[in-house]
Structure 1
């Protein structure tokens, strides 16, 4: 199984630590960086084993036929990962197409 990320998702992860630090969710940049890095690693490692649901129609602007799953990071924040899965030559691939958290998209789920 292989988890792949669209280039814009990789770019978002690169920006996430700066966003979290500038909005003062973390007092130290290193902590914000670790949070983003840990989230990326957790998605890469655990996505294939998570239960999934069909993505609501609202999210079709990011891709057709997607599923999503959640990653709870703390008592206030859950991240939602939207992806397509493909099988090629007996190997499963998971392509992450969109990522957001309950603070931004919770009302659409």
Structure 2
């Protein structure tokens, strides 16, 4: 049975992301921002073992050895970085295509 573990920094990031999305007025209600983040987390939990992963670009290896991506809407793609050992996944980093680091994917 697979085990998915999130580094503490990632869990903190998700909590902060909810409030950033609300404060920056991407969502009018905190609940909607929470649902948006929940969809990212659910994708990771439900699909990380079956979604085709790729080796991280060398300049982004500090975020994790492998990554998958989640397209949340037409403008935003999330890159989820992880380490895998047997059937265990450690989620070690997350960025989106709006970040400076995402230029490494082009």
| TM-score, length-scaled by structure 1 | 0.88
For residues 1-109 of structure 1, the aligned pairs below 5 Å read: 1-63=2-64, 66-87=65-86, 92-104=87-99, 105-109=101-105
How far off its partner does 1:60 sit? Answer: 2.3
Aligned length: 103
Distance (Å, rounded) in 2 between the aligned partners of 1:28 and 1:70:
26
Q: Conserved in 1, the CA contact under 8 Å of 2:79 and 2:94? A: yes
Structure 1 stretches lacking a partner, 5+ long: none
Structure 1 ranges of 4+ moved more than 2 A:
60-63
How far is 1:59 from its partner?
A: 1.4
| Structure 2 SS opposite 1:51 | coil
* RMSD over aligned Cα atoms: 1.1
How far apart are 1:62 and its partner, in Å?
A: 3.0
Q: TM-score of the superposition, structure 2-length normalised?
A: 0.91
